[in-house]
A = this chain, B = another copy of it.
Amino acid sequence: MKVRRLFPIVDSIKNYDNDWLKGDVGAGLTVGVMLIPQGMAYASIAGLPAVYGLYASVIPLLVYAIFGTSRQLAVGPVAMVSLLTATAIGAIGDVSVSAYINYALILALMVGVIQFLLGVFRLGFLVNFLSHPVISGFTSAAALIIGLSQLKHLLGIDIPSSHHIHEIISNAIANFNAINWIAFLIGIVGISIIVLVKRYRKALPGQLFAVIVGILTVSFFGLGEGENAVSIIQDIPNTMPMFSIPTFGLNELQFLFPMALTIALVSFMESIAVAKAIQNKHRNYKVIPNQELVALGLANAVGSLFQSYPTTGGFSRTAVNDQAGAKTMLSSIISAVLILLTLLFLTPLFYNLPKSILAAVIMVAVFGLIDYKEAIRLWKSNKTDFFLLLATFFATLIFGIEKGIGAGVVLSLAMVIYKSTKPHVAVLANVPGTHFYRNIERFDTLIPIDDLLIYRFDSQIYFANAAYFKDKLEELVLEKKDDLRLIIIDGESINSIDSSGIHMLDEEIQKYKELHIDIAFTGIKGPVRDALEKGGIMKKISYEKCFMSIQEAVDAFEENKKDSEIEGKYDSYIKQSND
């Protein structure tokens, strides 16, 4: 049992259904073919030689296949994590290519260890703090940054890398005269091929077609040489990923840690989101977030020892894997083997691959992630969340990816807290002829009673809103003038109460007692009963003033006495608490 939980692959092997084989093999080959251009393209986003995208497409896939709980997740290089890798190492300053590679591998190792530890200590829930608007705003901004970062390859010009959109665009315009129109044309053709195949023949590997067209064009016309040469990939080493331990000191670890943590969380977020979406489609297995962290962590950590930069489960390839019929991780193993064979035998074929084709692959992939529809939806449905999306989007564009996401999370939490300090409050009245009580501001058929105030406070009561509870109640009491004789506090919406809330209630009960206004409580929940009991103010409230429902409290009030028979009946429900 425990073995199965630690090595979910055991389950897959034991229960392997031979009918699945065709789907697994087909999907594995499809994803593998997709991985070749994507891997090389994403490595170039990360600022690494193209072959590192292929290295990162072998060991991590195999490790995840052993430990992962998803059966369709396609692990490997992805655009977002590649960009984060470039950002992290870019912050170090100018370094040699070999040092750059070494940093990328250290980063993968750190990401792996962090994810592994987060999983072991069951901290996967941290990813829940990334709200939908934050993810959406952040993804759109990152997609824009990634897409535009490829502009130089698409246009065949040499402009400095930048993560600031206005710089990228103004640099591109300033270098208008230097545009390599042949490279640009090849790129545009590539984009067209990918988009058209995607639209009309989803099952075919459009990206590979674009790559083949690009290579053939350059080879045929000899465009890779001469004065106006199109920038091409050139030599790709003909080796499989080798075992090597990245070298590092404490300094590097300290410097890279914040970004490693960001990558660990962002990549987990991307991966778990797609894994859960696909699981919901299949329902014959269950994705376990903390085990996913362990699996992705091991994939990164072990991968880093075999020349792999940070990887995760990607959106697009996972979708393709699933659509192509993958039923188990056998599909991923087949993809990895295909990449390995490519590395060993096929890399010379990619010598003439134009960089503008890789740019085309990336641009089509990421611009699909820009989610303006969600922004419109939120504008219509939830202004706060719309504002959070926008804030995260611009914070990411202006301050960079990790700060943008951080700002989004902090703002979201601040907003939740701010709102909880001034929760919705309602005054209730009877729905004629029933025992229901509803908000008097929403329905004009309701019948309020002059000497009675029914107060619904739509929040837990805690230190930051205890004063608001009090002030709002006071305001409503003043509106009622001198007629008021009873305040009924609807306990159904009060989900918990802390010690500051109890202090406040204590004072309020005292205050209104002196004003000869009774306070009754209805439908108090178990945890709140416990807190009132332990806080020692249940005696001051008195069980006589606690009722199962508003109607009962009103009845008791109107009769100016309690029906002792009914009361006896419910005593245990009202008084029960776990001290």
| Cβ contacts A524-540/B at 8 Å (1 or 0 each) | 01110001001110000
Choose among B416, B443, B458 the residue that contacts A462 (Cβ–Cβ < 8 A).
Answer: B416
Contact yes or no, B573 A431, CB < 8 A: yes
A462 and B527 alpha carbons, distance in the complex (Å): 21
A359-384: which have CB < 8 Å to B? Answer: 377-378, 380-382, 384
Contact yes or no, A125 B467, CB < 8 A: yes
Closest CB in chain B relative to A472 CB, distance in Å: 12
Q: A382-B531, A495-B493, A495-B495 are in contact. Are A132 and B463 (CB under 8 A)?
A: yes
A504-543: which have CB < 8 Å to B? Answer: 507, 511, 523, 525-527, 531, 534-536
A463, A464, A493, A507: most-surrounded residue (chain B CB, <10 A) = A463
Point out residues on A near B: beta carbons under 8 Å.
125, 128-134, 280, 377-378, 380-382, 384-385, 412-413, 416-417, 419-421, 423-424, 426, 431, 434-436, 438-439, 442-443, 445, 458-460, 462-468, 492-493, 495-496, 498-500, 502-503, 507, 511, 523, 525-527, 531, 534-536, 548-549, 570, 572-573, 576, 578
Contact yes or no, B534 A495, CB < 8 A: no
Interfacial chain B residues near A420, Cβ < 8 Å? 416
Choose among B129, B423, B535 the residue that contacts A463 (Cβ–Cβ < 8 A).
Answer: B129
Choose among B125, B382, B548 the residue that contacts A436 (Cβ–Cβ < 8 A).
Answer: B548
Q: A417-B413, A436-B549, A507-B280 are in contact. Are A133 and B525 (CB under 8 A)?
A: no
Q: A280-B507, A526-B439 are in contact. Are A536 and B377 (CB under 8 A)?
A: yes
A378, A421, A443, A462: most-surrounded residue (chain B CB, <10 A) = A462
Query: What are 22 contact pairs spanning A and B, CB under 8 A?
Result: A131-B462, A131-B463, A131-B498, A131-B500, A134-B463, A280-B507, A381-B531, A385-B500, A417-B417, A424-B496, A424-B526, A424-B527, A431-B548, A436-B573, A438-B573, A439-B526, A443-B572, A445-B572, A458-B495, A458-B525, A492-B492, A492-B493
Contact yes or no, A493 B525, CB < 8 A: yes
A536 and B373 alpha carbons, distance in the complex (Å): 14
Closest CB in chain B relative to A410 CB, distance in Å: 11
Nearest B-chain residue to A384, judged by Cβ? B498
Closest CB in chain B relative to A396 CB, distance in Å: 17
Nearest B-chain residue to A577, judged by Cβ? B442
A502 and B378 alpha carbons, distance in the complex (Å): 11
Contact yes or no, A380 B493, CB < 8 A: no
Choose among B468, B498, B527, B549 the residue that contacts A458 (Cβ–Cβ < 8 A).
Answer: B527
Interfacial chain B residues near A462, Cβ < 8 Å? 131, 416
Number of copies: 2
Closest CB in chain B relative to A139 CB, distance in Å: 14
Closest CB in chain B relative to A419 CB, distance in Å: 8
Contact yes or no, B423 A495, CB < 8 A: yes
A21 and B213 alpha carbons, distance in the complex (Å): 100
Contact yes or no, A464 B495, CB < 8 A: no
Interfacial chain B residues near A380, Cβ < 8 Å? 534
19 further interface pairs, Cβ-Cβ under 8 Å (given A128-B468, A416-B464)? A125-B421, A125-B468, A128-B467, A129-B463, A131-B462, A378-B499, A380-B534, A381-B502, A381-B534, A385-B498, A413-B417, A416-B420, A416-B462, A424-B525, A442-B526, A442-B578, A443-B576, A458-B527, A492-B523
Interfacial chain B residues near A417, Cβ < 8 Å? 413, 416-417
Contact yes or no, A460 B463, CB < 8 A: no
Contact yes or no, A128 B465, CB < 8 A: yes
Interfacial chain B residues near A573, Cβ < 8 Å? 431, 436, 438, 443
Choose among B132, B468, B496, B548 the residue that contacts A500 (Cβ–Cβ < 8 A).
Answer: B132
Interfacial chain B residues near A502, Cβ < 8 Å? 381
A442 and B572 alpha carbons, distance in the complex (Å): 10
Closest CB in chain B relative to A273 CB, distance in Å: 11
Interfacial chain B residues near A499, Cβ < 8 Å? 131-133, 378, 381-382, 385
Closest CB in chain B relative to A47 CB, distance in Å: 33
A131 and B498 alpha carbons, distance in the complex (Å): 9
A503 and B280 alpha carbons, distance in the complex (Å): 14
A548 and B134 alpha carbons, distance in the complex (Å): 34
Nearest B-chain residue to A416, judged by Cβ? B462
Q: A132-B500, A436-B573, A549-B436 are in contact. Are A459 and B381 (CB under 8 A)?
A: no
A125 and B466 alpha carbons, distance in the complex (Å): 11
